[in-house]
Amino acid sequence: MAYRQGDSQPGSGPETLRPLVPSGARTSTDVTPERHPSVAALRSQFPEAVLHHEVSAGDQHVVHIPPERNLQILGWLKNADEHRYDFLADLTAVDYGGGRPLQVVYQLWSIWHRRALRVKCALPLTALAIDSVSGLWQAADWLEREVYDMFGIEFRGHPDLRRILMPENYAEGHPLRKDFPLRGRFSRAEQTRRALSQDPRDYYIPEELAIADEPQVFGGEGYSSAAKGSGNEQGGSNPQR
Amino acid sequence: MSRRTVEYVVGRSPQLGVDGSLVEAPVLPGELDLSGGTAEPELDSERMLLNLGPQHPATHGVLRLVLELEGETVRRCIPHIGYLHSGFEKQGEYRTWNQIIPLTDRMDYLAPLIYNCAFAMSVEQLMGIQVTERCKVLRVMCMELDRIFSHLLWLGTTAIDGGAITPFFYCFQERERIYKLHEAFTGQRITTSATRIGGMMADLPEGWTDELQHFVNTLSHTLDEVDRLLTANSIWIGRNQGVGAMGPQDAINHGLSGPNLRASGVAYDVRKDNPYYDYETYDFDVPVGEHGDCYDRYLVRFEEMRQSLRILQQALDRFPDGPINVDDPRVTLPGKADCMNDMESMIHHFKLVVEGVKAPPGDCYFPVESSKGELSMYVVADGGSKPVRWRVRPPSFVNLSAISKLVEGSLLADVIMVNASLDIVLGEIDR
């Protein structure tokens, strides 16, 4: 095992791992409330794409870009050597309510340069779709699914855009939208009725059902055999042994 | 009562004869043919669907993994989460800033104080509040204590998943002492809710730091014992080394953070790279793995506990006197005597209690290093006493999303170890 800033137990990692992070604790930063190197570079590289720039909570720089150019600009920020935002810290959305556009928020962090940047895209409620960045960062896979689940924003080109926290057949809408009431859209009675009438088949996605030899897993005589079927498989499926 | 023994007949199905004696069943054709012979049945073509969880102790919560198996090899793993979804973020939009704090410790109930602190820090950053020196050091102590708290649980339960039950008892004995420290400070063992915007709910009780000092002095003995039980244990090595490995570039791309990322050889630690609360002035090392497998994750977490002890000792040494809460009329209640004696203080008290703390318009993203990885609270305010949006960047959620990649092609038994080594907590994944 290697140690960082190893004053007590110096270790040695393979050389290939070293360049990923400069050593030592951060003593100074090139980001100030007035200036952020990536923002300045964005302005010169994509002059018309930086719609708005603001500084929030001290020294946190926020850049607003048009949603149709998110892939191009984020890809540049990730791959350009002097920026290298290789760590997608967070991807989320904000609904301000009152019919205002939804914001998709990308929180980037450059492990090499130790720099953070927040990029926002505003999506009008009539066109809730944006290109997926899961091709740039694998981390976006689940984060985009969560935004889709909670806000109903569609991510074009996402490999597997399904609900993630709510059940796949959840019919009440997208919970984190401001027009969604805290207790849900359906009455308690309706929610209970739906919960009780769940079909074991709903717990699986079509891909999984395709893997399973359906008649075997979900036996012919009703769904009570579904649990039995998977139990059998756990114990070894060959009845002769 | 006579002593009972069990006989196993290896490689054959035991059958009982009429008199109850063991009859050796005929060997099935091809079953024990070790010569790589002719009559091998085609097993490759048969894919099996195995549902693991949500009620399974080794999934560390209500995680459900649907596995596509080919023989004993995992070809694909599809995780299903959301069984513990409580809508914390939605609830937070209907609560004042201080009322959200009890929600935070219910997310990661294995390290509640880290969550309490992270939320308060984010709102304070948004409001431009600098907490007092004493509060800073106290929060560092709380966070490092809970890092140990969480890692001890991880160590004990992971050892059980690997088949060793003794470390579990050792670790839980030590956790019990941290529970007592929690209880003495906050009145609760798990749901601590210890912070407030601008400070802590209360100052430390008498003698708490002495208890903590005693804990710091004696924990390493237990750690050494568990170390001796596991680190060089051949079963432990066999279960962990080379299992669930991920390279540094992949780990960054998948958004892994915390010990999982560092085990893959990336020395990124928020405490070093984006320091808060004067972490740059504490002397501690960040252990970094080389192989990115379960064993390196084990080593990294183990070493982190020792480093946390070092930080705790330094924090205890520098723990200053002074006020615990910031003196800022926006967040701090006036004293009781003032409220009883002058009108303005009473109105101030009333308005703060009824309306709550108000944060200025804007948003703030504040990352801290939690026991699971990079934990960030993203708060969006419009000037009111409730957030427009409160978002938690859940480290376990992003870490877990890599599990499909980690277990692909490994054995079914390795899924348990990989899942355990990621150190997830479902309360935070599902929120």
* pLDDT, mean of residues B40-56: 72
Residue of B66, B89, B125 lying closest to A204 (CB–CB)? B66
CB contact under 8 A, A233 and B94: no
Q: What is the pLDDT of residue B18?
A: 54
Supply the Cα-derived Rg of chain A in whole angstroms.
24
Q: What is the pLDDT of residue B144?
A: 93
Q: What pLDDT digit, counting tens, does each position of B69-128 carry?
A: 888 888 889 999 988 898 899 999 999 999 999 999 888 888 999 999 999 999 999 988
Q: What pLDDT digit, counting tens, does each position of B230-243 carry?
A: 888 888 888 888 88
CB contact under 8 A, B125 and A58: yes
Average pLDDT, chain B: 85
CB contact under 8 A, B288 and A4: yes
Instruction: Note whether B152 and B171 are within 8 A (CB).
Output: yes
Q: What is the pLDDT of residue B390?
A: 92
- A21–chain B nearest CA distance, Å: 6
Packing angle between helix B294-318 and helix B208-230, nearest 10 degrees? 160
Q: What pLDDT digit, counting tens, does each position of A46-58 carry?
A: 888 888 888 888 8
**C-alpha closest to that of B269 among B256, B281, A143, B378:** B256
- B416–chain A nearest CA distance, Å: 15
What's the distance, CA B157 to chain centroid?
12
Instruction: Note whether B75 and B399 are within 8 A (CB).
Output: no
Average pLDDT, chain A: 77
Local confidence band at B332 (pLDDT 50, 70, 90 cut-offs):
confident
Q: What is the pLDDT of residue A4?
A: 55
CA distance A176 to B43: 47
Q: Select B88-324+364-402's CATH number: 1.10.645.10, 1.10.10.10, 1.20.1270.10, 3.50.50.60.
A: 1.10.645.10
* pLDDT, mean of residues B252-268: 89
Q: What is the pLDDT of residue B155?
A: 92
- DSSP β-ladder status, A115-123 and A60-65: parallel
Q: What pLDDT digit, counting tens, does each position of A207-239 carry?
A: 777 776 554 545 444 444 344 444 444 433 343
Instruction: Note whether B204 and B185 are within 8 A (CB).
Output: yes
Q: What angle do CA A140, A143, A146 make, to 5 degrees?
A: 145
Q: Looking at chain B, which residue has its C-alpha nearest residue A233?
A: B50
Residue spans of alpha helices (H) in chain A: 37-45, 70-79, 140-151, 188-196, 206-211, 214-217, 224-234
CB proximity A5 to B under 8 Å: yes
CA distance A100 to A109: 28
Q: What is the pLDDT of residue A238?
A: 40
CB contact under 8 A, B388 and A97: yes
* pLDDT, mean of residues B256-276: 87
CB contact under 8 A, A13 and B265: yes
Residues 52-81 of A with CB under 8 A from B: 56-58, 60, 62
Q: What is the pLDDT of residue B381?
A: 92
CA distance B194 to B202: 8
Q: Looking at chain A, which residue has its C-alpha nearest residue B284?
A: A5
Sequence spans of domains, chain B: 88-324+364-402
Sequence spans of domains, chain A: 34-165
CA distance B108 to B168: 20
Residues in chain A with CB shorter than 8 Å from the CB of B364 are 56-57, 60
Q: What is the pLDDT of residue A2?
A: 60
Q: What is the pLDDT of residue A29?
A: 67
CB contact under 8 A, A111 and B125: no
Please report the ipTM that was assigned to this predicted complex.
0.82
Task: Give the domain A34-165 fold.
Answer: Beta Polymerase; domain 2 (3.30.460)
CB proximity A1 to B under 8 Å: yes
For A68, phi then psi, to 5°, come to -75, -10
* pLDDT, mean of residues B12-16: 42
Residues in chain A with CB shorter than 8 Å from the CB of B277 are none
B54/A212: higher pLDDT = B54
Q: What is the pLDDT of residue A220?
A: 44
CA distance B6 to B9: 10
Q: What is the pLDDT of residue A16?
A: 38
Q: What pLDDT digit, counting tens, does each position of B185-222 carry?
A: 998 888 888 898 988 988 889 889 999 999 999 998 99
Torsional sign, CA B113, B114, B119, B121: positive
CB proximity B84 to A under 8 Å: no
